[in-house]
C-alpha cells in the first residue's frame, strides 16, 4: 500500500495565481511529471537486471514502480490545474517517442552491487530535488505543491534506503572498495546531467533555449537545494567514521557545485 494517494489531493485549492507567472516552476514540474510517469519502462529493465532475486523484483514491481508512477500522476494533475495552457498529453507523447528508445539495459552498471549504488545516486537526486521544491513552494505560499513535494520526497528517501539494503546484500559478495564506490557514484552523478530533462524541455517549451533554463535551475539550486543532505546520502555507502565523513563532506559539497548540481 502506498503511503499516500494522489487522488486524495485537493488540486482545486492550488493557488494558480501564484504559479501562473512562474515559468520556471511550471516547466520544472512538467518535466518531472514526464520522467516520473515513465518509470514503468525503467522498472522492466531493472527487473530483468535483477532476475532471480524475488525480493528485489517483487519490491520493484509492487512498490517502487507504482510509487514512481504515482509521483508522475500527482505532478501531471498539478500541471493540468496550474498550467492549463500546456497540452500535457501532446507534449508527453513527443517526450515518450524520443525517450523510450533510450531506456535500455545498456545504461546499467556492469554488476548488481554497482547498479544498486547507481540507483542510490538517482534516488538522492530525486529526494533532494523534491525537498528543494517543497522549500520553494512554502516560500511562495503554495501549500498544495508543498504537500505533494513532501510526499514524493519521503517516498524517494524510502527508495534510497531500499536500494541501500540491496547494495549491502550484493556487496557482501562483490566486496567493492571505497575507490570503486566513489567511481560509480561520481560517474553516475555526471550522467544525471539530464538527457531526459533536455528531451522533456524541448516538448514543453518548444523554441526556447535549454541553457537558459539550466541557468535558472542553478540559481534555484543555490537557494533551495539541500546540499548537506545530498552529500550525506552520497557518502553513506562509503561507511566512513563520522569524523572522516565530516572532514570530506565539504569537498564533496564542492564537487556537487562543480558538477552543476
Q: Which residues make up the interface to Fe ion (CB under 5 A)?
A: 36, 68, 71, 123, 156, 159
Choose between 156 and 194: whose C-beta lies nearer to Fe ion: 156
C-alpha cell at 258: 562543480
CB of 60 vs Fe ion, minimal distance in Å:
11
28 vs 133: CA distance, rounded Å: 9
Choose between 151 and 203: whose C-beta lies nearer to Fe ion: 151
CB proximity list for 181: less than 8 A, separation 6 or greater: 117, 237, 238
Phi, psi of 254 (to 5 degrees): -65, -45
CB of 209 vs Fe ion, minimal distance in Å:
27
CB of 40 vs Fe ion, minimal distance in Å:
12
Choose between 71 and 131: whose C-beta lies nearer to Fe ion: 71
Choose between 26 and 71: whose C-beta lies nearer to Fe ion: 71
Phi, psi of 197 (to 5 degrees): -65, -40
Q: How many CB atoms lie within 10 A of CB 201?
A: 22
CB of 126 vs Fe ion, minimal distance in Å:
5
Q: How many CB atoms lie within 10 A of CB 63?
A: 16
| Residue 35 DSSP code | H
Cβ–Cβ under 8 Å, residues 116 and 77:
no
CB of 74 vs Fe ion, minimal distance in Å:
10
Choose between 68 and 115: whose C-beta lies nearer to Fe ion: 68
5 vs 13: CA distance, rounded Å: 16
196 vs 204: CA distance, rounded Å: 13
CB of 24 vs Fe ion, minimal distance in Å:
20
- Cell 575507490 maps to which residue? 179
CB of 21 vs Fe ion, minimal distance in Å:
27
Choose between 36 and 142: whose C-beta lies nearer to Fe ion: 36
Cβ–Cβ under 8 Å, residues 76 and 88:
yes
Choose between 161 and 180: whose C-beta lies nearer to Fe ion: 161
C-alpha cell at 76: 501531471
Of 3, 12, 15, 259, which is closest to residue 156 (Cα–Cα)? 3
Amino acid at each position: 500500500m502506498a503511503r499516500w494517494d494522489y487522488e486524495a489531493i485537493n488540486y482545486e485549492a492550488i493557488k494558480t495565481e501564484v504559479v501562473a507567472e512562474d515559468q520556471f516552476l511550471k516547466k520544472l514540474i512538467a518535466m518531472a511529471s514526464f520522467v516520473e510517469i515513465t518509470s514503468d519502462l525503467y522498472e522492466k529493465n531493472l527487473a530483468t537486471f535483477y532476475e532471480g532475486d524475488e525480493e528485489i523484483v517483487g519490491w520493484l514491481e509492487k512498490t517502487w514502480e507504482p510509487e514512481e508512477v504515482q509521483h508522475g500522476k500527482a505532478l501531471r494533475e498539478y500541471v493540468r490545474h496550474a498550467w492549463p495552457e500546456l497540452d500535457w498529453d501532446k507534449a508527453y507523447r513527443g517526450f515518450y517517442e524520443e525517450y523510450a528508445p533510450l531506456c535500455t539495459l545498456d545504461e546499467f552498471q556492469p554488476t548488481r552491487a554497482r547498479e544498486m549504488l547507481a540507483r542510490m545516486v538517482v534516488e538522492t537526486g530525486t529526494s533532494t530535488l523534491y525537498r528543494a521544491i517543497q522549500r520553494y513552494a512554502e516560500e511562495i505560499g503554495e501549500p498544495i505543491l508543498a504537500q505533494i513535494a513532501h510526499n514524493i520526497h519521503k517516498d524517494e528517501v524510502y527508495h534510497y534506503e531500499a536500494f541501500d539494503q540491496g547494495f549491502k546484500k550484493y556487496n557482501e559478495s562483490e566486496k567493492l572498495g571505497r575507490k570503486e564506490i566513489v567511481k560509480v557514484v561520481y560517474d553516475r552523478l555526471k550522467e544525471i546531467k539530464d538527457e531526459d530533462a533536455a528531451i522533456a524541455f524541448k516538448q514543453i517549451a518548444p523554441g526556447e533555449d535549454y541553457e537558459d533554463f539550466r541557468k535558472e535551475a542553478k540559481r534555484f539550486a543555490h537557494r533551495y537545494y539541500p546540499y548537506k543532505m545530498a552529500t550525506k546520502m552520497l557518502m553513506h555507502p562509503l561507511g566512513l567514521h563520522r569524523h572522516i565523513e565530516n572532514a570530506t563532506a565539504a569537498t564533496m559539497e564542492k564537487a556537487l557545485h562543480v558538477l552543476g548540481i
